[in-house]
Structure 1
Amino acid sequence: MEKTLAQIASPIVRVAFVGPECTGKTTLSSTLAQRYHTVWAEEYMRTYLQHKWDTQHLTCTWDDLLPIAQGQVQLENQRVRQASTFLFCDTCLLELMIYAYLYYGQCPPEIERAALSHRYQHLFLTYVDVPWQPDDLRDKPNEREEVFTFFKDKLDSYGIAYQVLKGSVAERIRQCTEKLLL
């Protein structure tokens, strides 16, 4: 089963965005992909859970975590084959791992092992200084700072290097671009 969580090797520079919901990860991924004439990997968790909500009016459960992880890795592996120079990932298994700890107090071991083994040349943690936009899946509008701190503490506890992104979309794009050109 874990084999389906393996990140394929590639010379493409992988850039991932993690952080609380509604903090601009999708906007950054799609905008940067367009700027660098490449593709981006969408957040599979959103697609999966939106379908579940639309068809069954149900939210995420523990049993959804492994299918979400498998879908995210499959999508990322597919996109890295199509990418040129960069692949921008609107979340990654680290995001799923951290949310598992946030919501369930634990993470399935196979997801945690895979998340910690995946490599990204640049990891950005998005801050909560952008407007909240409600939708069917978002559920923590009043806990955004706490969720950000949870993400930061988890990344720090694993010794994972990241850069916090703050400010407007233009400012965040500038911060990313500066980092990518180093």
Structure 2
Amino acid sequence: MNKIIKKIAIVGPESTGKSTISQQLAKYYKVPWVPEYARYYCAALTADCTLQDEVNMFHGQVALEESVLAMADTDFIICDTTFVTVKIWSDEMFGKTPQVVLDELHKRPYDLYLLLDIDLPWQEDSLRDFPTMREHFMEIWHKELQALDANYVVIRGIETRLQNAIIAIDTFLKH
């Protein structure tokens, strides 16, 4: 019988510390983490991102997550973002979401989402595009998570961000 491994997703707008806190949480709990596939994919792009690229990033994120889950020997894993990001970016950039993504949204739930707040200062990065639209994307994340009826907690704090995330995970794990 296969053990059910919980998935904890770290999500939010650009430059909210998702990758950093994902790695810190995985180290703290000694659990595997799934990196953000899109970051590697976009870094290798030689032209503007297309809707097909979004589909490719969806498949890549899912495959990466499934491979980590297959090897995990823990009660949970940490996911640095989810393919909900593909939906958000596709809607923003192309005005629509690929059907393959829409079909999978409710089939691949996460047990807990930590939605990182926009209270961190913007960090410039060649893969980040919208420094003036963080509030907009924060609202979209709330709407998307609510539409999924997701269990989520907003994580705030500059100095206390990691501790607040640990408290949220510990509280979740106790239930």
SS in 2 for 1:117: coil
- In the superposition, the TM-score normalised over structure 1's length comes to 0.85
Code of the residue aligned with 1:71 in structure 2: it is G
**CA RMSD after TM alignment:** 1.7
Question: Deviation per CA, 1:123-178, whole angstroms, max 9, x where unpaired?
Answer: 12111011211111101111111111122123223433322111132333333333
SS in 1 for 2:171: helix
Runs of at least 4 residues off by over 6 Å: none
SS in 1 for 2:31: coil
Code of the residue aligned with 1:23 in structure 2: it is T
- In the superposition, the TM-score normalised over structure 2's length comes to 0.88
Identity %: 32
Contact 1:33/1:40 (<8 A) preserved: yes
Runs of at least 5 residues in structure 1 that lack an aligned partner in the other structure? 1-8
Runs of at least 5 residues in structure 2 that lack an aligned partner in the other structure? none
Counterparts of 1:158 and 1:178, CA distance in 2 = 21
**How many residue pairs are counted as aligned between the two chains?**
170
Contact 1:10/1:80 (<8 A) preserved: no
Tell me, yes or no, if structure 1 residue 111 matches structure 2 residue 104.
Answer: no
Q: Give the alignment partner of residue 51 of structure 2, picking from 38, 48, 62.
A: 62
Q: Give the alignment partner of residue 26 of structure 1, picking from 14, 19, 29.
A: 19
Counterparts of 1:171 and 1:138, CA distance in 2 = 25
Contact 2:9/2:82 (<8 A) preserved: yes
Code of the residue aligned with 1:80 in structure 2: it is L
Contact 1:94/1:116 (<8 A) preserved: no
CA separation of 1:10 and 1:46: change in aligned 2, threshold 3 A: farther
Code of the residue aligned with 2:171 in structure 1: it is E
